[in-house]
C-alpha cells in the first residue's frame, strides 16, 4: 500500500484516538480542569481539527520514513521503533517545558500518554500495512 494512503489512515485513527482520549469519560474532565479550556467554546475548532489532521499526516509520514530508513518491517519492529521514539524523544522533549513551566504532572501524563498512544498505534498500522 502506498505510504501516503497509510499516512492518511494513521491520521484518521489518530483523530479517533484523540476524540476518545479527551472525551469526558476518559481524561477530558481532568484535562479541561487542568488547562482551563472551555470545551463549549467552538470558535476556531474546525481550523484546529484541520491542523491536527495535517500534523498527524506529517507524523505518520515521518514514522513511515523512519521505519523504512531503519529497516523496521512488521508490527513487532515498528512497535519497538515507536516505543523508542515515544519515550526517547517525545516524552522527554515534552517533559522539559512542563517542568520549567511548573505545569501539573497529571496534565503532562495525559498529554504525553496521548502522544505515546498515537505513535504506538500509528507504528503498528505502518508495520502491518507496509
Residues 52-74 pLDDT 10s? 999 999 999 999 999 999 999 99
Q: How far apart are CA 70 and CA 111, in angstroms?
A: 27
CA 95 to chain centre: 15
The residue extents of the domains of the chain are 3-129
Say which residue the cell 516505543 belongs to: 83
Q: In whole angstroms, what is the distance from residue 26 CA to residue 61 CA?
A: 28
15 pLDDT more than 90 = yes
Residue 1: pLDDT band by 50, 70, 90 thresholds?
Answer: low
Cβ-defined contacts of 99-103 (< 8 Å, 24+): 103/34
Q: Long-range contact list for 43-49, CB < 8 A, 24+ apart? A: 49/15
What are 87-107's pLDDT values in tens digits?
A: 999 999 999 999 999 999 999
At 123 the pLDDT is: 97
Q: Are 67 and 81 in contact (CB under 8 A)?
A: yes
Alpha helices in 1-130 (DSSP H): 3-21, 29-35, 45-69, 75-85, 91-100, 105-129
Amino acid at each position: 500500500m502506498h505510504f501516503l494512503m497509510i499516512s492518511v489512515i494513521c491520521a484518521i485513527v489518530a483523530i479517533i484516538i484523540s476524540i476518545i482520549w479527551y472525551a469526558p469519560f476518559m481524561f477530558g474532565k481532568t484535562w479541561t480542569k487542568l488547562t482551563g479550556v472551555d470545551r463549549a467554546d467552538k470558535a476556531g475548532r474546525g481550523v484546529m481539527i484541520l491542523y491536527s489532521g495535517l500534523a498527524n499526516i506529517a507524523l505518520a509520514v515521518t514514522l513511515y520514513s523512519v521505519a523504512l530508513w531503519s529497516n523496521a518491517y512488521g508490527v513487532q519492529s515498528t512497535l519497538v521503533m515507536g516505543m523508542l521514539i515515544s519515550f526517547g524523544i517525545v516524552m522527554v522533549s515534552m517533559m522539559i517545558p512542563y517542568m520549567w513551566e511548573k505545569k501539573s504532572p497529571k496534565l503532562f501524563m495525559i498529554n504525553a500518554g496521548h502522544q505515546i498512544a498515537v505513535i504506538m498505534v500509528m507504528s503498528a498500522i505502518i508495520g502491518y500495512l507496509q
